[in-house]
Amino acid sequence: MEFVRKGQDDAEELSEYLHPIWLEVFDPLMSPGEAEYKFMAWSNPDEIRASMRDGHEFGYIFEEGERIGLYSYHVQDDGRFFISKLYLEKRYRGRGLGRKALDIMFDIARENGCTEAYLNVFHNNDHAFRMYLKAGMTDYSRYRGSAGNGYYRDGYTMRMKL
């Protein structure tokens, strides 16, 4: 598996690539229109560029030469590693590739001196939640707050000591 970093000039492409994956994952889990709203708020090209300016790395995940997904993470100054995005195309899920990508991210975190990894997962995304539990992210807490437009950020922050 290979992670290929992308830059500011690739923000449009990254957003366009992620959009159908995001909708395929979240449309069945959210109220009508909610997934599209949240995608446009959090993963539009301007937001991706802003995240990159704030230190987030974005890129594609390749397996055996095939692009299979997208990642984003941030090595924070406080020694924590934030996994912002880990999305695989539907045809690559259920094969252990998400776990493999997650383990690579944990290795990147350790290589950068991080002592904790964490991420946020939507409360209805049972598949992802279970994968993160199996990967060792057993310390979690519930959060809920406004996402705008009458929608909520509702999920779990999951953590793991590295």
pLDDT (tens digit per residue) in 113-137: 999 999 999 999 999 999 999 999 9
Which tokens belong to 158?
Answer: 């999951």
Q: How many domains does the chain have?
A: 1
Distance CA 69, CA 21 (A): 9
CA atoms within 13 A on the CB side of 133: 9
Q: What is the pTM of this model?
A: 0.94
- Domain enclosing residue 98, as ranges: 2-161
CA distances from 105 to 98, 101, 111, 144 (A): 11, 6, 10, 26
**CA terminus-to-terminus distance, the chain:** 21
26, 24, 2, 17: which is closest to 48 by C-alpha?
Answer: 17
Instruction: Please report the pLDDT score of residue 114 as a whole number.
Output: 98
pLDDT in tens, 92-117: 999 999 999 999 999 999 999 999 99
Which tokens belong to 60?
Answer: 């594609």
Q: Interior CA angle at 55 toward 54 and 60, to 5°?
A: 120
- Taking the chain (162 residues) in runs of 10, the rounded mean pLDDT of each run is 98 98 95 94 97 98 98 98 97 96 98 98 93 93 90 94 96
Instruction: Please report the pLDDT score of residue 32 as a whole number.
Output: 86
Task: Kindly report the CATH number assigned to the domain that includes residue 131.
Answer: 3.40.630.30
